[in-house]
């Protein structure tokens, strides 16, 4: 598994496509339910989580179980996700819960990823794994 993370509008998807030119990409905002388990690469992963929290009303345990299932069933998937945990804490209860669960899920995925890259201004820096040559 590979993860590519970074803030909004930082060039994550362009970077991901350059690094992984031969995979089919799925938009997490449009992905429905278990279809994510058939994806080679997912961008807007945070939007997938948001929709699943809304549709399925995931608890923290269900969110962690999902992350564990994804790591086991999709060891070669590439996930592109926006870092949403920085900045002000939202007033809205759903937004706080969404941010919390997204962070928990991404923490599990990053721990189980072979490589994690952070993209800022279109420049990717490997923060875990990768080629050390």
Crossing angle between the packed helical segments 45-56 and 93-112, to the nearest 10 degrees: 120
CATH number of the domain that 88 lies in? 3.40.50.300
What is the tens place of the pLDDT at every residue in 4-31? 999 999 999 999 999 999 999 999 999 9
Q: CA angle, 104 as apex, 36 and 39 as ends, to 5°? A: 15
Q: Determine if the pTM surpasses 0.95.
A: no
pLDDT of residue 94: 92
Number of structural domains the chain divides into: 1
Burial class (CB in 10 A: 0-12, 13-18, 19+), 130: middle
Q: Is the distance from CB of 105 to CB of 53 less than 8 angstroms?
A: no
Domain extent at residue 6: 2-128
pLDDT of residue 133: 43
Q: Is the distance from CB of 43 to CB of 28 less than 8 angstroms?
A: yes
Q: Is residue 133 part of a domain?
A: no
Q: Is the distance from CB of 129 to CB of 114 less than 8 angstroms?
A: yes
Q: Is residue 31 part of a domain?
A: yes
Phi-psi region of 22 (alpha: psi -120 to 50; beta: other; left: phi over 0): alpha
What is the tens place of the pLDDT at every residue in 30-74? 999 899 999 999 999 999 999 999 998 888 999 999 999 999 999
Q: The tokens of 57 are what?
A: 């009303």
Q: Is residue 43 part of a domain?
A: yes
């Amino acid at each position: 598994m590979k993860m590519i993370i970074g803030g909004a509008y930082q060039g994550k998807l362009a970077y991901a496509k350059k690094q992984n030119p031969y995979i089919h990409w799925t938009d997490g905002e449009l992905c429905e339910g278990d279809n994510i388990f058939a994806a080679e690469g997912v961008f807007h992963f945070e939007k997938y989580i948001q929709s699943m929290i809304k549709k399925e009303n995931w608890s923290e345990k269900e969110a962690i179980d999902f992350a564990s299932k994804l790591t086991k069933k999709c060891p070669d998937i590439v996930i592109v996700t926006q870092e949403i945990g920085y900045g002000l804490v939202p007033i809205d209860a759903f937004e706080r819960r969404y941010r919390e669960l997204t962070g928990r899920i991404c923490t599990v995925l990053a721990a189980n990823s072979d490589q994690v890259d952070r993209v800022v201004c279109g420049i990717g820096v490997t923060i875990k794994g990768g080629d050390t040559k």
